Each structure stands twice: as structure tokens, then as C-alpha cells.
Amino acid sequence: MTTKSAKISKPKATKAASSVIPAENQVMIAGAPVAVTPEGQEVGNGGEIHQVAGGTHPQMTNQRGTVIADDENSLKANERGPGLIEDFFLVEKTQHFDHERIPERVVHARGYGAHGYFELTDSLAGITKAKVLTTLGQKTPVFTRFSTVAGNMGSADTARDVRGFAVKMYTPEGNWDIVGNNIPVFFIQDAIKFTDLIHAAKQEPDRGFPQAQTAHDTFWDWASLTPEATHMLMWLMSDRAIPRSFRMMEGFGVHTFRLVNDEGESTYVKFHWRPKLGMASVIWDEALKISGADPDFHRRDLWNAIESGNLPEWELGVQLFDEEFANNFDFDVLDATKLIPEEVLPLRIIGKMVLTRNVDNYFAETEQVAFATTDVVPGIDFSNDPLLQGRNLSYIDTQITRLGGPNYEQIPVNAPRCPVMNMQRDGHMTLRPQKGRVSYSPSSLEQDTPRQDPRAGFTSFKAHEEGDKLRVRAESFGDHFSQALMFFQSQTDAEQNHIISAFIFELSKVDTKAVRTRMLSQLANVDISIAQRVADGLGMKDPITPAFTKVSARTDLAPSDALSIVKKMKPGLVTKVIGCLVADGTDAAEVLALETAAHKLGAHVKIIAPKIGGATAADGKVIEADFQLAGGPSVLFDTVYVALSEAGAKLLSTEAAAVAWVHDAFSHLKVIGASSTAQTLLTAAGVVPDAGVIVGKSPSPYLAAAANGRIYPREPKVRTTY
Ligand code: HDE
């Protein structure tokens, strides 16, 4: 190879970069003309395509705005010579890359968000002065971020975990964040225990694993020594911790907050988000398999729903109560390990939230969004919940580290949509140049400096406080087991079985037998039969001795149907996904009939074929595929249909991926529809007839069955329950 000079001629192309470069406008790079393909695509001297025909590409610049002539080659002393330090394009690009990451959230690192609005439908005038809760019909912009708690940023969406449900409302009076979860209670009662909880749940510090799961020794060591966590453990082991979709989760503010009116009077409030689609969860074995098949299952679902115009929606409900109710309630309303059953205090629905728009850029918005429990507006205030009090110091503190300084509120996704004016100045990444020489208060030098406003401004509720300064836990926080039992008893048999199985699964991953034994003792305080069932599943035969407790579980609490997913399920197929397995020889009319009928019910049909190029139907037409068999396991679909000819079914019955596809659908309690000619595959997959196996009928009975969700009575036939 001859050495040529590294001279670069001035590229004409950059002037007219928004159109296809005509052949006569060839760019000379290192003395060689750039080739142009017959389609008009410009090919660089590394063989790369610069301009795609027909595109309208703006000029590429560096961060300083200088137009870039060559983004494929670094500057060298000669064609094969050393790199030159003056290559500020290479240096800038690399340095920017080197700093592309910021510290991930310690908890809730893996999340996904979207924009939308909150609309008030029932005013709380007289109860609060917050405009967002009193101005009927007003659409308040929101940004909502869902997350898992324990996993690191790159973990799977379907880990067993609590989901964060954080809503930032850009109200006319400032930002109001409800930084909640999809479970109405929490593990601990006092903020000082949070670090311990999270350290125990996250990867173990010596080995750096396992991540995104509580199924390991340190978590259960801590949990078995922390009786106050027991109620939350019941929820965590329930199907609430493996939701089907963010769109099918409830959300809760968890703590008791205060609403404050113009007269300074307070009403206690608990916030609830209710999904329009109702709740749905996956089966644990399904969650495990989805984690492999599509670790982005939940974010993809949210993104797709919004892109396709199926806008996710929740109602906002409130439980409102006064001091008298609080004093008479069975538990302390300041204790975040307790809930107030809806049957005791019904929800008042006051508005709805609709997510309407995906982010333009994940990092700029979803990663940089910064929630804080202290983002409140006049009319919304805190209770003395010691967990909430601790949170109030933590959030802004964490954002300063995560986002690099105290001005993160100026980043667009965090910036209030109302005026922000004060005397705070400077600091890292100041984006808002504040005018004037006055940066203090009081001042007299300028006429238009912002002033405090005692009438419209935020005033804290005048709570009367007295007593000794103490480091204690109130006695009213002492009952750790009654609501755990109430929660368990509120579930259907299938849901109870899932809770027991989840305890068995998690504790089976705990190496230290003493920890398992201690956890059984703790569960015995909820109900000895629960502990015994878990012990049976673990094969632990020693007699179970209940752990010491000052307060035993009450057995007189009425079960609450509102705590069960199944009892609250809303039938229907809107936005549900049907996986339809086809192969060569499939009856195309059958698939079309299914698609037409499903579409009318708001469901989506995805076609799975042995090859991504599709299948040749009996009539010779090609049925296009959305997934190749191995890449589209049935765990990705809510219900499945097997549309196969006799020959197709026979062929696939020796194909492991096809057998697993049908077998999994059956064992995950899904409704299965099938052509009458598909029986060979159903038999190979171990499918036995039941109310959820609908063979050789028109699509209607299949879809009608599928609309009712899973076939729970099938469960004892496909897995052992204890
Ligand atoms: Fe959080 N929590 N938390 N938390 N939390 C964070 O803030 C903290 C708690 C919740 O999508 C952190 O920005 C303490 C309860 C959600 O960005 C951090 C305590 C509930 C999110 C933090 C709690 C939550 C967070 C980590 C106990 C349900 C994600 C990164 C005193 C009501 C928000 C960050 C998002 C995030 C602290 C307990 C919900 C470290 C100290 C209870 C949804 O500041």
C-alpha cells in the first residue's frame, strides 16, 4: 500500500447535506473520490454509507456546532501513521462517551416512564387548597415512572419485586410527586431501618450477586429477624410482585398524608391509583422464563401500548379520614406496614391519569427524572409517619449525587411548569441565568425581586406536638401479624397457593438452614398452617416453634376482597396479546377469522412460525410471522391459539420449542385454542381437556374463554401445591 498525504479536501457535500449528493459532487477524502452507489448513496473510504437515498439529513456537528466532514476516520499523521492529539473531534466524542453514565439509583434503578396528564373529576374543595385537587377538568401534565426496587439498571423487568409507581405532577403551584409503590404497605416502620432492608435485599457485597431478587440468604436473614416486615412479605410473595404489565398494576402513596384547606384544617388522606384495565399478573414460572425471553417485557409493553394509541389509564382514589377515625382504627395510621381496608373506608374516586406520550430520549427523561416526597404544593402536607419523615431527607440528597449538583430541577423533565423565582444562585450546571445584582433577601435595590407570600405560599399544618424527645417505636406499632393474616385470608385458594409456593421457592435458595427455620417461626405467628405448608414444601420436618412476639395475630379481622387480584379481575381482552402458532399447511382462513374476531375485542394477534419468513398456508399464500418459534415462546402471550394442519402438528410434535410452547401455555394456566387438526401437538405437549382447552371451534368460544383469564382449577394438575 502506498502512503498518501492525509490532506482532506473541503467537502462540498456538507453544504447540501439535507439532500442526496449528486455524483458530480463527490467528496475527496485523502485524495480519493468517494464512490456513489447506483441508488445515490455516498460510500466513504471505509466502505460505510454516508447518505441514505431520499433522506433529509441535517448536518452533523460536534457539541460546539462545528460541522463534521468525516465521522469515520480519526486524524493521523499519515495514512498509516500515529494519531494526532489535535483531533478535537475524536477527543470530544470519546470524552463525552467516557462520561455517559451517571450513578444509577441505589434502589429503583431499573425503571420506565412516560408523559401524560391528570384530570380532576371530583373536586376536594373545602378539604384542600391545592389547585390540582380543586380545579375541575384541569389537565395537569404528569411524568410517571415505574420501576423494580432491588435490581440494578440492567436487570430483568419481571423479577419478583415491589414496583415503584412514581408520579410527578407539574401543577400550577409547583411540582407535586406521589412517590409510591404498587403495594400499599412497606417492609419497615422507621426510616432508620431502610439501609438495612436494602443492603439485605441487594446483591451480597462480597460476591456481588445475586441481583434483582430477594431469594438469597442475606434478605431472609434480615427478614426473619424483622417481624414488622411480615405483612409486606405476604404481598411480596403474592402475585402482586409479578405483574403482567405496568398498565395492570395498582399504585399507592402508602403513607398517610394530610390535605390542608384554606382555614388551615387538616384531613388525613391515603392515595390509590386504580388501573382501568384491572389488575393482572403472571405465573412465577412464566416470570422466570420471560426474564430470559424478553427482559424488557414491561417497558416494551408500555411503549407499544402508548405508540399504538392504547393509552394506559388509572383512576385516582382517596381514602379521607379525620383524627377521630384514626384514633378508633385498629392500627396506627402512621404505621406504613398497615393499610386501611376499603371495606372499612371506601375510596373516593377524584380523577384519572392517562399516559399519552413516550419519552423522546430515555436518558434525558426517564433516567434524569428526580422524584422527592418533599415535592408538595400548598394544601398537601405530611403526617408523622416515621418512614415518610425519613424519606423527606433522602430524595433530594440522592438526586444531588445522582444528577451532579443542586440544579437538577432545571433539567426539563424536572423543571416546574410554573415560575421559579428565588435568591438561590449558581452551582453545577446552572441553566437558568437569573438577572440582576440582587441575590439576597430582604433587599431594596431592585423593584422586581421575588417576595415571600404568606397568603398563597406553602404553610405547614399547625400540628400540636408535645412530649419527651425519645428514640423509640410507639406501642401502637406493635402488631406485626394481624394484617398479614388478613391479607392471606383475603386471597382466593389459587392466590394463597402462589404465596406458599413463593415462600418455598425463595427459602429454597437460602443455604443457611437456621435462617429458613427462623423464617418458619416468624410465619407461624401469622398462622401455623401457613408455616407448616411452607415447611412441607421445603421438606423441613422439625416441629415449628413460633418466634417470640409481644402481640399475637388477631383472627377477627374481616377479609378484604379488594386485596385479591383475582376477585377484582376485569374480564376482557383489550390490549391482551394472543400468540398464534402456524406452520406450512395452516388454514389461512382460520387465522384470518381469529384475527378479525380478536381485533373486534381489542386484542392483538401475533403470529409465531418455525421460520421468521412466515409459513406457506394450505392455499399457497404466505402467512407472515411476527416471531420465529424459539424467539416467541408462549410466555410472551396472554393466551395462545394453535393453528396447524395435521401434517404441521405432526412435524412440530418432534420440535422441542413447539412442544414447550404449548406445554408452557398449558402449565401457565392459559386458555388454549386449537384447530381440530392440531391434536398431535397438544397430546405431545401433555395438554388434557378442560374448560380452557377449546379445540376445533370458531374463534368465538375460544375468545370468550380467554377473556376470563387464567384457568386456576387446572393448577393442581400441573404443579404440586402445598
Ligand atoms: Fe424510596 N427512594 N425510600 N420509597 N422510592 C428512592 O430516590 C427511600 C420508600 C420509591 O422512579 C431513592 O431517586 C428511603 C417507600 C420510589 O425515580 C432514594 C426510604 C416507598 C422510588 C429513596 C424509602 C418508596 C424511590 C433512590 C425509607 C413507597 C423511585 C433513587 C425511609 C411509598 C422513584 C431516588 C423514581 C426511590 C429513599 C422508602 C418509593 C434513595 C430513605 C416506603 C417509587 O432517595
Q: What is the tens place of the pLDDT at every residue in 275-330?
A: 999 999 999 999 999 999 999 999 999 999 999 999 999 999 999 999 999 999 99
Nearest ligand 1 atom to alpha carbon 253 = 32
Nearest ligand 1 atom to alpha carbon 105 = 30
State whether the beta carbon of 257 lies less than 6 angstroms from ligand 1. Answer: no
Top-confidence residue, 254 or 14: 254
* Ligand 1 geometric centre to CA of 499 (Å): 25
Overall fold of domain 571-718? Rossmann fold (3.40.50)
For residue 717, what pLDDT is reported?
96
Residue located nearest, by CA, to atom 20 of ligand 1 = 180
The torsion angles phi and psi of 35, rounded to 5 degrees, stand at -75, 155
Nearest ligand 1 atom to alpha carbon 190 = 31
Q: What percent of the chain has pLDDT over 70?
A: 94
Overall fold of domain 111-214+225-410? Catalase HpII,  Chain A, domain 1 (2.40.180)
Which residues are paired to 622 by β-bridges? 616
Q: Which of 50, 73, 108, 255 does the annotation list as catalytic?
A: 108
For residue 17, what pLDDT is reported?
36
* Ligand 1 geometric centre to CA of 107 (Å): 7
153 within 8 A of 301, measured Cβ to Cβ: no
Confidence grade of residue 620 (pLDDT, cut at 50, 70, 90): very high
Whether omega before 210 lies within 30 degrees of 0, making that bond cis, reads yes
Closest CA relative to residue 337, chosen from 214, 479, 473: 479
Residue range 89-97: average pLDDT? 96
Residue range 537-557: average pLDDT? 97
| Tens of pLDDT, residues 492-542 | 999 999 999 999 999 999 999 999 999 999 999 999 999 999 999 999 999
State whether the beta carbon of 498 lies less than 6 angstroms from ligand 1. Answer: no
Architecture of domain 488-567: Up-down Bundle (1.20)
**Which residue from 102, 106, 108, 374 has its CB within 8 A of the most atoms of ligand 1, so it is best to mutate?**
108
Q: Which of 181, 182, 407, 497 does the annotation list as catalytic?
A: 181
Rounded to the nearest 10°, the torsion over CA 453, 459, 464, 468 is -100
Residue range 457-469: average pLDDT? 97
Pairing of strands 35-36, 42-43: antiparallel
For residue 231, what pLDDT is reported?
98
| Tens of pLDDT, residues 374-425 | 999 999 999 999 999 999 999 999 999 999 999 999 999 999 999 999 999 9
Residue located nearest, by CA, to atom 14 of ligand 1 = 391
State whether the beta carbon of 150 lies less than 6 angstroms from ligand 1. Answer: no
**Which residue from 102, 107, 162, 199 has its CB within 8 A of the most atoms of ligand 1, so it is best to mutate?**
107
Residue range 252-257: average pLDDT? 98
For residue 55, what pLDDT is reported?
72
Residue range 690-710: average pLDDT? 96
Residue range 694-713: average pLDDT? 96
Label each residue of 376-403 as H, E or C. CCCCEEECCCHHHHHHHHHHHHHHHHHH
pTM of the model: 0.94
For residue 53, what pLDDT is reported?
58
CA distances from 488 to 193, 231, 363, 429 (A): 25, 9, 40, 50
Nearest ligand 1 atom to alpha carbon 181 = 28
Q: What percent of the chain has pLDDT over 90?
A: 91
**Domain boundaries along the sequence of the chain:** 19-73, 111-214+225-410, 488-567, 571-718
Residue located nearest, by CA, to atom 32 of ligand 1 = 180
**Which residue from 162, 179, 403 has its CB within 8 A of the most atoms of ligand 1, so it is best to mutate?**
179
Residue range 568-595: average pLDDT? 97
How high does pLDDT run on average in the chain? 94
Residue 86 CB contacts under 8 Å (≥ 6 apart), including other chains: 75
* Ligand 1 geometric centre to CA of 321 (Å): 25
Residue range 661-682: average pLDDT? 98
Nearest ligand 1 atom to alpha carbon 165 = 43
Residue 683 CB contacts under 8 Å (≥ 6 apart), including other chains: 653
For residue 260, what pLDDT is reported?
98
Residue range 98-103: average pLDDT? 96
501 within 8 A of 537, measured Cβ to Cβ: yes
Q: Is the pLDDT of residue 552 over 80?
A: yes
Residue located nearest, by CA, to atom 31 of ligand 1 = 191
State whether the beta carbon of 109 lies less than 6 angstroms from ligand 1. Answer: no
For residue 46, what pLDDT is reported?
74
State whether the beta carbon of 254 lies less than 6 angstroms from ligand 1. Answer: yes
* Ligand 1 geometric centre to CA of 396 (Å): 11
Residue 405 CB contacts under 8 Å (≥ 6 apart), including other chains: 427, 428, 429
C-alpha cell at 415: 423543571
For residue 44, what pLDDT is reported?
73
| Tens of pLDDT, residues 33-82 | 566 776 667 777 777 776 665 677 899 999 999 999 999 999 999 999 99
Residue range 542-558: average pLDDT? 97
Residue range 339-356: average pLDDT? 98
Pairing of strands 49-51, 42-43: antiparallel
Closest CA relative to residue 639, chosen from 564, 569, 581: 581
* Ligand 1 geometric centre to CA of 231 (Å): 19
Q: Is the pLDDT of residue 30 over 70?
A: no
Going across the sheet that includes 672-674, the strands are: 627-628, 604-609, 577-581, 639-642, 672-674, 693-695
* Ligand 1 geometric centre to CA of 610 (Å): 45
* Ligand 1 geometric centre to CA of 248 (Å): 21
State whether the beta carbon of 395 lies less than 6 angstroms from ligand 1. Answer: yes
* Ligand 1 geometric centre to CA of 391 (Å): 7
State whether the beta carbon of 110 lies less than 6 angstroms from ligand 1. Answer: no
Residue range 89-100: average pLDDT? 96
Report the distance separating Cα 146 and Cα 251, nearest Å: 10
Q: Is the pLDDT of residue 705 over 80?
A: yes
181 annotated active-site: yes
Confidence grade of residue 20 (pLDDT, cut at 50, 70, 90): very low
Nearest ligand 1 atom to alpha carbon 398 = 44
* Ligand 1 geometric centre to CA of 426 (Å): 27
State whether the beta carbon of 394 lies less than 6 angstroms from ligand 1. Answer: yes
* Ligand 1 geometric centre to CA of 707 (Å): 36
